[in-house]
Amino acid sequence: MGVFAASLSKIGFTDYISSVTLKMFVKDNAGDPKKIRTKVIFLELFLLMFGIFSQNLIPIHIAFIPIFVPPLINIFNKACIDRRKIACILAFGLVTPYIFLPVGFGEIFLRNVVAKNMAINGISVNLSNLDLVKTMALPALGMLIGLLFAVFVSYRKEREYSKTVDIVDDGEKESNASLKNFVIGLMAIAVMFVLQVKYSSILLGACAGFLFLLFTGAINWNASDAMISDGFKMMAGIGIVMIVANGSSRVLISTNAIDPFVKALLSITCSNKVATILVLLGFGWMLTTGIGSSFSTVPIISAIYVPICIQFGMSTSAIFALIATAGALGDAGSPVSDTALGPTIGLNIDGQHNHFKDTIIPTMLHFNIPLLIFGLIATFVL
């Protein structure tokens, strides 16, 4: 996945989209604010759409934010758009797809992380893609409600920003952006997506997409080694943390440290199902907020959650929803997660977007609270 994402960036796929978008909007930078606001709505929808696609169709994660967002800051300033709303839009696009759609990063999270760790702890998961979507529908609905509340209630009013930042084209910047490479990129994405869905293999899809770019000449064969190296670097951080988390969970299991914890927790909550699930979700929230990666918390929390859920007689789907929701809690709102760092990098280009006040707190309140509520509901209706 990392190699394919690095290859798309190398051929100028995102650069081309960014340049076309700017041509449509940047000319109105000094125009009528009311007219600009109308176009800003389309910009917001575009950022939302690309955020969603960055997790599946165009699996580049947060790499699109430094490309797309900074050149749009003056337009947002002119229309007095509250950047906290943009941060929420970007966070929604970065989180919701992987907890809801079993493709791209969702394939990794739902099948290769949640399902496999449930299997390690004694629960076999045999859910189709449609079943996975149904299982995670309520948590995803909670995220959607949080987004709508942020856009239409919390941050709908204008917010003044005192400065503007000059965004100029860097004539010396090397880019392979072209219509030809853009079309080839789209075809590679289609190949990757079709094979991934058909064979339920993100590895096969990503490899096929990368090979398509090589055989069409978009990527030079001599540059393939560099692409592979860049791709591995892109995913290395989360891979290392996931390895450590898996090791921690295995230690907990092998040392029989889970049973005392389960008994202590059940005694504190008096074996009340609602209270116990709320504590488990809160534990997942705290753990993910600290680590900054929902992918890396699942091995730890699944080792703890599965024995407790079995005692309550919960269904496989309910346990799956609980673990996935607990893992995702805190991703939006963690100071060290990509979901928070990405929007801040793009929106703070002129020093007027505070990481904690304008990204962490807004995304934490608008997404983690409804995710907690709807995740709890899911465990009772599934």
pLDDT tens for 107-156 read 889 988 899 989 988 888 888 889 999 999 999 999 999 999 999 999 99
The domain locations on the chain are: 2-381
CA gap 227, 3 in Å, rounded: 6
Cβ atoms < 10 Å from Cβ of 128 = 10
pLDDT at 31: 58
**Sign, Cα dihedral of 28, 31, 37, 38:** negative
CA gap 300, 295 in Å, rounded: 10
Q: First-to-last CA distance in the chain?
A: 32
Provide the residue-wise pLDDT of the chain in tens; the chain has 382 residues: 778 877 877 887 777 877 777 777 655 555 566 666 777 888 889 889 988 988 887 777 777 787 788 878 877 887 888 999 999 999 999 999 999 988 888 888 998 889 998 998 888 888 888 999 999 999 999 999 999 999 999 999 888 887 666 555 444 445 667 888 888 888 888 888 888 778 777 788 888 888 888 888 888 877 777 777 777 776 666 566 666 666 766 676 677 766 677 777 777 777 788 888 888 898 888 888 877 778 878 888 888 888 888 888 899 999 999 999 998 888 888 887 888 888 888 888 888 899 899 999 999 999 999 999 999 999 999 8
Residue 291 near residue 333 (C-beta atoms within 8 A): no
**Nearest alpha carbon to residue 264 among 303, 304, 230, 205:** 304
Rounded to 10 degrees, what is the CA torsion of 59, 62, 68, 70? -170
pLDDT at 170: 47
pLDDT at 200: 72
pTM above 0.75, yes or no: yes
